[in-house]
Structure 1
Amino acid sequence: MEIASVHHMRPGLPFGRPGLFHSRKENAMKALSRFFLWFMLAAVQGFAQSGAILSGRVIDQGTARPVSDAQVELAGTPRRVTTGRDGNFVFSGLGAGAYTLRISRVGYATTDAEVALQAEEEQILTVGIREVSYLLDPVTSTATRLQSRASEVSTSVTVVPAAVLEHRQAQDISDAMQEVPGIFIRPYGALGDVRTASIRGSSAGQVLVLMDGQRVNNTQSGEVDLTTLPTEGIDRIEIVRGGASALYGADAVGGVINVITKTRGASEGIAGDARVLSGSFGTREAEVKGNYSSGSTFSALSYRYLKSNGDYTFHPIPDSSAARANADFLSHALFGKERWSIDDGRALSFTGQYFFNEAGDPGTISYPNARARKQNRNILLGLAYDEELESVVRTLHVQSYYHNLLFNYDDPLAYVPISNYSHNIAAGGEVQAGLRFSDWNSLTGGYAYRWDHFSGNSLQGEYERGLHSAYVVDEIALRPSFMRGLHRIAIVPALRWDRFSDFGAQLSPKIGLVVNAGEAWLLSVKANYGRSFRAPTFNDLYWPRDSYTAGNPDLKPERATDFDAGAALEVPALAGIGASFTCFGNRVTDLILCQPGADGVWAPANVGRAEARGFEAGALLNPWKDLLMISWNYTHLDARNKSGGPDEYDKELPNRPADIHKAAIRTRHAGFSASVELLSVGLRYTTTSNDASLPSYHVYNALVGYNWELAHSRMEVTGEVLNLGDAEYQVMAGYPVPGREFRVSLSFGVGSAGGE
């Protein structure tokens, strides 16, 4: 063959003998032509070089779906590749002989396949790998903005699936997060009263809450009342602990709570559920939901009605009792979603939520409000387009959203009668792309714009804020071969730029490290260091000036530096044992605190500093899958004030318990389910000088249920006791929490109304 003859030419003499040509110019041109001909033929021959080809696809044994990001290697050789979205792999230029094909992927058992190749053979394989059930390794999309296993990301993340919300009969998302390590839920009373979250000692305004990746925190107060986020349509809740401004911008100082709604049904066809609940203190609930799922369409619609009288008994002083007055609550929640799969890799979805509640504001024990009333009306709309590609750009996400939040508060019996309303509107959009440059380097980047507008008499005017943001997170993942069982070492740098129209630009960097190892077990070692910030709110900046208080339009953002490091280990084959440990630290400067001016008027200023250090530890035992599962986690926190006078400096920050234990025992078998949960919270100081405190408390909750599976339907009855020991306690000073509470629910469903 002519190509073969080129292959055997002596590369050192490509031009022949120059003496054959009469002209030096002609000689040079012919020599150049021969060089290009030789180069092209050699390149073609290089592509067509002899050797066997081994290609194939890696699939999940249980679902037969392609497995992406699986490491495929020829054992004993340096040859290795990573599967793409379609699960495909290919090795070319192989010699004849026997090979061991080794496939590994976090969350799956390492699988070996023996292959014998003949010379010039092309062999195509399909290799199934078995998923290993790791309770500590769910899928998360919040930690890196792309879907990943929790063990593969550098941050500490917990995923609460929809099944937990249903099992706990959660009334709002705060009920579902009670067992998450590092998070402290602060209820200001009973059902319908304000509930906020603190992560690793943060304030409520330093926790960013998202709905399908978009900010819920309003610009007026910066905080989110978790009772205004019902559980309808939720697929899962992801909680990222630690600073995350490098990915999500302002207010992600303590962490991020991302509420993710469903995108498909549990099975194709029409499904529906109806549920009624009755409980103590006049609590009543009715819910109906349905969905339709096919190969290209998912439609979901649900409605929930919830009310409570809230007239529980408490003891304002020893040897006396009273019924909590003006603590009633009524809410309506409506959720709808439509998702269209344009083709295999493209989808368009629309999400709409409406929530309305009306409740009394009972006030504190010392200063009760007999007739104060409040109303919330929240409307959240979102439109998203998602596409998966096979080029360097692997994913494309385009989203727009609109939030309309209205709050009214009236207290006709106040010293100066109050009738306030606040109207917050937010609208924006985002474009995000995920790129993969090689098997070891992938990058996610995006641009977002948001516009916030406030109107209302609570701030006596109208204010607005524009925000431009750009972010990038790079994942450099090495797959070493020098140690069997060591799967992956990844370095994850991230950077975000935010430009606010009212106080300038902020730059938030972060770097993370994660090491994955294990075959029949799973080990992940993680570390992070970064910076984050909280933006001043409209209340901070523009509070109307009177004889006592005023805003400060010259405020700067609060700035924080944080780190964490830890490890998690799970061994499913050894009684499902799992354990985790993470230490963390956070230093905040320019804290916004109110202080008196020379004229005696209190106004916010960037004068505070604080430090928080601690650790989170957890253990899991799951010897017989659903038959028995025991979990426990413990958070120790030392959060201290590093500013102020001698009476306040180095004192513990108020409302931050030093110790929190959370434990649960669950069982499920043949339709029967039961669980017992424990929440133990240590002493909390209530003043900056630490001269007053609330005692520790210990709360037990118990639940038992039974469900019947019929031909095309199902029925379930559930009984629940909250605060089984009838403990009397306050989480926040002056706001008593209900004692023992009973709830009974009955549900009936057709089809498979679940989803993901």
Structure 2
Amino acid sequence: MFQKFLSSALLSACVLSAALRGQNAETLRGKVIDASTGAPLAQASVVSAASGRGTITNSAGEFHLFTKAEIDSLVVRFMGYQTRRVAVAEVRASQAIALLPTTMLFREVTVTAKRYAATAADIPAAGEIFHADTPRFATAQNAGEVLAQTQALFIKEYGGLSGLKTVTLRGASEGQVLVLEDGFRLNNPQGGWVDFNLLPALSVEKIEVVRGGASAQYGSEAVGGVIHIRTLPPPERFTPRAEYTLGSYGTNAARFSLGQRFGKLAAIAGYGRLHTEGDYPLGVKTAFGLENNAFAREDFYLRSDYGFSSQTRLSAFHKDIHGDREVAGSLSFPTPEAAQVDDNRISGLAFSTQSGQWLDLNAQASVQRLVQEYVNPDPFFPIASRHRVDARELIMHNRSRIGQLDLLYGLELAHNEIHSTDLQNPEREQRSAFVQAEWRWASV
């Protein structure tokens, strides 16, 4: 008897509460329109500011929403229009919510992998740009991690953060994908590859990926495409920046950069350090974690720009990267004591000037040294090798616009020397010239 009485009392309380709530609530109906034309806006978002409940308008711009009377307000949003907050009383009186159109500005996408800056719409090949303020850069420790999961591009990894990372593009080999940094070649003359693990994301402003052959301008190294890394330009004001991250398997990284402008001269410097034990689990019963896989990297970056005028500029940069890595080998052939040391540095100077339609000149020179030492004191197959690559490069090109004709022409001189314990110290001279013409039809 008591249970029946208690159940009846609870049911009565629920009914009474719903009745009281219903007296203070209603279903609000309205319409969202364009303030300029009066046209209905379909799929506009209408949200109650108090309850957070929302709905969208139908094809006629109409909506209905359960809301509290008088004290509530609505937040109405639609892409291309200014967001508006409206009181319920105002909606009930007019039943129409007018939104004002707004102009949405997107930054212009500029691609420089064609040897000069051009908008993405003018690039015939498929391309993609990754800016430093995108989520890809938030946790990336090197350029290879930034480019991972990119369409038609595959990063070959050999052991996580400590392993070699090379790139293939549209099925082309590592030596057929040209990698540039501010216009300077990074491809190793010895094998054509680039270790993206040794390209820290600290000093990168953006990375451009242009798919498709560019051999007419760059030679056989660009059969698969071009990856152009643009470094951070010096800031307009004093800009300090510091980051520190921690990760699993003994991973920690620190980054620091500082930039300042002094009249016509601006400079930026950065330093980064990364360390990881790399002992991640292998998923096999014979071993708990990967051994001899630690990696440490230090990098230093310096760039300065001097503007003689708005049309003439001189830039200089230097980058020094040092890497110490343990080489674990494979499950079938482990190398528990093998180690590799990389010491890469590049210095460059670039000059650009523009005057009228005939002169848009760019000249740049670089000196690069790549040193790699590998030691494996295996008692059966001991290995101790050292390779040093010295590369010097000079590039000049000019762009002339003659009416609707866009003409790009230039030359490139390069000298490469390889000093190795395994090779006969070969040398390579490269002399090339190119001309590219584009005719642009005037739009009717």
Note whether the superposition's TM-score is higher than 0.5: yes
Contact between 2:202 and 2:255, CA under 8 Å: does it hold in 1?
A: no
Amino acid in structure 2 at the alignment position of 1:338: S
**CA distance change for structure 1 residues 386 and 362 in 2, over 3 Å: closer, same or farther?**
same
Instruction: Look up the match of 2:207.
Output: 237
Q: Once the two structures are superposed, what CA deviation does each residue of 1:481-514 show, in whole Å capped at 9, x if it has no partner?
A: 1xxxxxxxxxxxxxxxxxxxxxxxxxxxxxxxxx
**Higher mean C-alpha deviation, range 414-423 or range 380-389:** 414-423
User: C-alpha separation between the residues in 2 aligned to 1:348 and 1:441?
Assistant: 28
Give the superposition deviation at 1:321. 4.4
Counterpart for residue 420 of structure 2: 456
Write the distance in 1 (CA, Å) between the matches of 2:169 and 2:189. 20
Identical aligned residues as a percent: 27
Q: Distance in 2 between matches of 1:262 and 1:342?
A: 20
Contact 2:338–2:374, Cα closer than 8 Å, also in 1: yes
Q: 1:483-562 maps to which residues of 2 (within 5 A)?
A: none
Query: Of the candidates 432, 436, 441, which is equivalent to residue 469 of structure 1?
Result: 432
Report Cα offsets for 1:645-692 as digits up to 9, x if no partner.
xxxxxxxxxxxxxxxxxxxxxxxxxxxxxxxxxxxxxxxxxxxxxxxx
Aligned to 1:288: 256
1:398 has 2:347 as partner: no
Once residues 141 and 294 of structure 2 are traced to their aligned partners in structure 1, the CA distance between those partners, rounded to angstroms, is: 15
Once the two structures are TM-superposed, the CA of residue 270 in structure 1 deviates from its matched residue by: 0.8
Match of 1:378 in 2: 344
Aligned-residue offset at 1:423: 0.3
1:324 aligns with 2:287: no
Contact 1:380–1:404 (8 Å) recurs in 2: yes
Structure 2 length as normaliser, TM-score? 0.74
Listed one character per residue, the Cα deviations across residues 572-620 of structure 1 (whole Å, up to 9, x for unaligned) are xxxxxxxxxxxxxxxxxxxxxxxxxxxxxxxxxxxxxxxxxxxxxxxxx
* Equivalent of residue 133 in structure 1, options 106, 110, 118: 106
- Aligned equivalents of 2:402 and 2:129: distance in 1? 29
Q: Which residue of 1 aligns with 2:313?
A: 347
Residue in structure 2 matched with residue 300 of structure 1 by the alignment: 268
Equivalent position of 2:400 in the other structure: 435
Tell me how far 1:156 sits from its aligned partner. 1.2
| Pair 359,465 (structure 1): closer, same or farther in 2 beyond 3 Å | same
CA distance in 1, matches of 2:179, 2:356: 33
1:214 is displaced (CA, Å) by 1.7
User: Which residue is 1:420 aligned to?
Assistant: 385
How far apart, in 1, do the equivalents of 2:399 and 2:413 lie? 19
1:306-345 Cα deviation digits (max 9, x unpaired): 00001111123xx554210000001100000010001121
User: Which of the pair has the greater relative contact order for Cα pairs under 8 Å at 6+ separation?
Assistant: 1
Total equivalences in the alignment: 342
For the 8 Å contact 2:112–2:228, the answer to whether it is kept is no
- 2:228 partner amino acid: N
After superposition, the Cα gap between the structure-2 partners of 1:478 and 1:408, relative to the gap in structure 1 and judged at 3 Å, is: same
In the other structure, the counterpart of 2:60 is none
**Deviation, structure 1 residue 294:** 5.4
Pairs within 5 Å for 1:581-596: none
> Cα RMSD between the aligned structures?
1.7
Q: Distance in 1 between matches of 2:111 and 2:406?
A: 17
* Mapped partners of 1:222, 1:185: distance in 2: 15
Name the CA shift for 1:386/1:131 in 2 (closer, same or farther; >3 Å). Answer: farther
Match of 1:181 in 2: 151
C-alpha distance in structure 2 between counterparts of 1:343 and 1:455, whole Å: 43
SS at match of 2:418: strand
1:406, CA displacement in angstroms? 0.2
Structure 1 residue 349: Cα displacement: 0.6
Write the deviation string for residues 331-389 of structure 1: whole angstroms up to 9, x where unpaired: 10000001000112111010100000001110111111110000100001000001121
Contact 2:280/2:290 (8 A) holds in 1: yes
Instruction: Kindly report which structure 2 residues correspond to 1:704-719, keeping only aligned pairs within 5 A, or say none.
Output: none
Match of residue 444 from structure 1? 408
**Which residue is 1:250 aligned to?**
220
Specify the SS of the correspondent of 2:192.
Answer: coil
Q: 1:453 to 1:165 in 2, by over 3 A?
A: farther
- Aligned partner letter, 1:140: V
Name stretches of at least 5 consecutive residues in structure 1 with no aligned partner: 1-129, 482-756
Paired position in structure 2 for 1:55: none
Q: How big is each residue's C-alpha offset from its partner over 1:245-282, in whole Å with a ceiling of 9 and x where there is no partner? A: 111113111111111112342xx321101111111000
Cα distance, 1:180 vs structure 2: 2.4
Q: CA deviation at 1:232?
A: 2.7
Instruction: Tell me if the contact between 1:346 and 1:386 (Cα under 8 Å) persists in the aligned partners.
Output: yes
Q: Answer yes or no: is the 8 Å Cα contact 1:392–1:436 preserved in 2.
A: yes
Alpha-carbon distance in 1 for matches of 2:134, 2:318 = 23
Q: Distance in 2 between matches of 1:306 and 1:361?
A: 17
Q: Secondary structure at the match of 2:241?
A: strand
Partners of 1:308 and 1:366 in 2: how far apart?
A: 23
Report the CA distance shift for 1:383/1:165 in structure 2 as closer, same or farther (over 3 A): farther
CA deviation profile, 1:97-138 (whole Å, cap 9, x unmatched): xxxxxxxxxxxxxxxxxxxxxxxxxxxxxxxxx78427xx61
Name the aligned partner's letter for residue 356 of structure 2.
E
**1:17-56 alignment to 2 at 5 Å?**
none
Task: Answer yes or no: is the 8 Å Cα contact 1:165–1:176 preserved in 2.
Answer: no
Mapped pair 1:409 → 2:382: no
Distance, in Å, in 1 between the alignment partners of 2:337 and 2:399 is 53
TM-score, normalised relative to structure 1: 0.44
- Alpha-carbon distance, 1:206 to partner: 1.6
